[in-house]
């Protein structure tokens, strides 16, 4: 399996909505494997295809304890069909937004529909940490980064720091 390069802010590609997958072929299966390998190596709990430079509506995630058995989950063409309540996701981070964490307002519970890697329709009722992870990754597929959901002041501080670092390199 290959480790894929994770694109990071301010890469404009990350702000584009992805295209639906119409055929789950060998290329998609290979992408899933490579994304899983990349996510575990990073390490992260979720990864969207757009983060590795692929314009496809695909995400992988694993919310099992890091010291336990790994269980890669795949969602193809996922969409949130309902959401209820609100919570603050404390200290949320992102592989595409390195060295920055923030509290983010999220729905407390969601229902997501999508397909697994074998084209089986899935309906996931999620709350708590799983709901946050799924909302975060589905946001990626819609061209939204978690920093788009925080105050403009906090976002501005992060943007200035990144631009300053880019000028240094």
Name the catalytic one among 22, 33, 125, 137.
Answer: 137
How crowded is residue 99: how many other Cβ atoms within 10 Å of its Cβ?
10
Q: Which residues contact 49 (CB under 8 A, 6 or more apart)?
A: 18, 31, 35, 55, 56, 57, 58, 59, 141
Residues 32 and 21: their CA atoms lie apart, in Å, by: 13
Instruction: Return the DSSP state at 2.
Output: P
Catalytic residue check, 69? no
Instruction: Return the DSSP state at 95.
Output: T
Sign of CA dihedral 149, 153, 156, 158: negative
Residues 48 and 35: their CA atoms lie apart, in Å, by: 8
Residues marked as catalytic: 137
């Amino acid at each position: 399996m290959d480790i894929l390069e994770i694109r990071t802010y301010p890469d404009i590609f990350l702000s584009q909505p992805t295209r639906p997958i119409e055929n789950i072929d060998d290329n998609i299966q290979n992408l899933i494997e490579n994304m899983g390998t990349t996510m575990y190596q990073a390490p992260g709990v979720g990864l969207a295809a757009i983060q590795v430079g692929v314009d496809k509506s695909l995400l992988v995630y694993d919310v099992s304890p890091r010291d336990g058995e790994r269980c890669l989950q795949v969602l193809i063409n996922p969409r949130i069909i309902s959401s209820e309540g609100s919570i603050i996701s404390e200290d949320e981070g992102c592989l595409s937004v390195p060295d920055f964490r923030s509290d983010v307002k999220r729905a407390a519970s969601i229902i997501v529909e999508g397909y697994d890697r074998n084209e089986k329709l899935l309906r996931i009722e999620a709350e708590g940490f799983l709901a946050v992870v799924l909302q975060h990754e589905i946001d990626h597929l819609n061209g939204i980064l978690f920093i788009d959901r925080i105050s403009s002041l906090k976002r501005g501080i992060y943007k200035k720091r990144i631009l300053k670092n880019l000028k240094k390199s």
